């Protein structure tokens, strides 16, 4: 697995306005260093403990993205340095992120996760819930968070039509509320489906195995 070669290849393929988050979960510090030395600054992790441990050992200008299921009682461990939380799946979690951001005297970027696949293992607001939440404008009350957009994960399937449909549905909501909330980011697409995602307006892709190799 040649991390720098993989990164260069992906970077030449994707449009300039698409942000690549290198998903380094389960991978060693040295792999992250190689990517960093090749100019990669945005990294994603899905477990707070692993994220904190890695962030402590790596350069401070790395921008860390929390992309996995986040429990409310864990927010405090990442609140002082996290760059963006993609996986906000409840109003209570938003409240906690806002509280911890305030405590740390900073602002935290968040994306709201929408359940576009209806897989039981995945989290996120249902379409009905996200519409209700965004229409209520309740999230505008949180002063220490910036809700910058939406995130979704497509079904684990090889059927590209299903994947495309799910990305399209998320983009429809994104576009509907974009101007009211000044949304900037639509985070969708992983190693297996990022090309479809970019086609459907994604501007943050989260790639792990395409960069670092398969996870064991
Ligand atoms: C693991 C993970 C990814 C990256 O998956 P790959 O298939 O390795 O690219 C992206 N997003 C989330 C939320 C993940 O948990």
Q: What is the DSSP string of 86-146?
A: EEE--HHHHHHHHHHHHHTTS-EEEEEEE--S--TT---B-HHHHHHHHHHTGGGG-TTEE
The radius of gyration of the chain's CA atoms, rounded to the nearest angstrom, is 17
Compute the distance from residue 89 Cα to the ligand 1 centre, in Å: 17
Q: Whose CA is nearest to atom 13 of ligand 1?
A: 67
Compute the distance from residue 207 Cα to the ligand 1 centre, in Å: 6
Residues with Cβ within 6 A of ligand 1? 23, 25, 46, 67-68, 153, 190-192, 206-210
Confidence of residue 120 (pLDDT cuts 50, 70, 90): confident
Determine the Cα–Cα distance for residues 95 and 92; give it in Å rounded to an integer.
5
pLDDT at 143: 97
Determine the Cα–Cα distance for residues 72 and 96; give it in Å rounded to an integer.
6
- Please name each of the domains of the chain with its CATH number: 3-212 (3.20.20.10)
Write down the pTM of the prediction. Answer: 0.97
Ligand 1 atom nearest to 194, measured from its CA: 9
Determine the Cα–Cα distance for residues 172 and 180; give it in Å rounded to an integer.
14
Express each pLDDT in 56-67 by its tens digit: 999 999 999 999
Q: Strands 42-45, 63-66: parallel, antiparallel or unpaired by DSSP?
A: parallel
The proportion of the chain whose per-residue pLDDT surpasses 70, expressed as a percent, equals: 100
**Bridge partners for 22 per DSSP:** 43, 207
pLDDT at 121 over 80: no
In the three-class reduction of DSSP (H, G, I as helix; E, B as strand; rest coil), residue 182 is classed as coil
Compute the distance from residue 23 Cα to the ligand 1 centre, in Å: 6
Could you tell me if 186 and 148 are in contact, meaning their C-beta atoms sit under 8 angstroms apart?
A: no
Determine the Cα–Cα distance for residues 66 and 61; give it in Å rounded to an integer.
16
pLDDT at 175: 98
**Token pair for 106:** 């900073």
pLDDT at 112 over 80: yes
Block residue for tokens 């998903």: 23
Q: Which of 8, 36, 14, 38 is nearest to 24 (CA)?
A: 36
């Amino acid at each position: 697995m040649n991390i720098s070669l993989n990164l260069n290849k992906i970077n030449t393929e994707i449009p300039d306005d698409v942000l690549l988050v290198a998903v380094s979960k389960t991978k060693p510090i040295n792999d992250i260093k190689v990517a960093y030395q090749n100019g990669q600054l945005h990294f994603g992790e899905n477990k707070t403990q692993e994220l904190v441990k890695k962030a402590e050992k790596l350069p401070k200008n790395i921008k860390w993205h929390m992309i996995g299921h986040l429990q409310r009682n864990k927010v405090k461990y990442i609140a002082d340095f996290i760059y963006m939380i993609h996986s906000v799946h409840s109003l209570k979690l938003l409240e906690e992120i806002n509280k911890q951001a305030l405590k740390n005297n900073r602002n935290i970027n968040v994306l709201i996760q929408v359940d576009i696949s209806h897989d039981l293992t995945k989290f996120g607001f249902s379409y009905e819930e996200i519409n209700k939440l965004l229409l209520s404008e309740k999230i505008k009350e949180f002063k220490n968070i910036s809700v910058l957009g939406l995130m979704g994960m497509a079904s684990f399937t090889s059927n590209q039509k299903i994947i495309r449909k799910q990305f399209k549905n998320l983009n429809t909501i994104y576009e509907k509320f974009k101007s009211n909330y000044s949304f900037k980011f639509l985070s969708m697409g992983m190693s297996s489906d990022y090309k479809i995602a970019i086609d459907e307006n994604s501007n943050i892709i989260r790639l792990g195995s395409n960069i670092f190799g398969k996870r064991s």
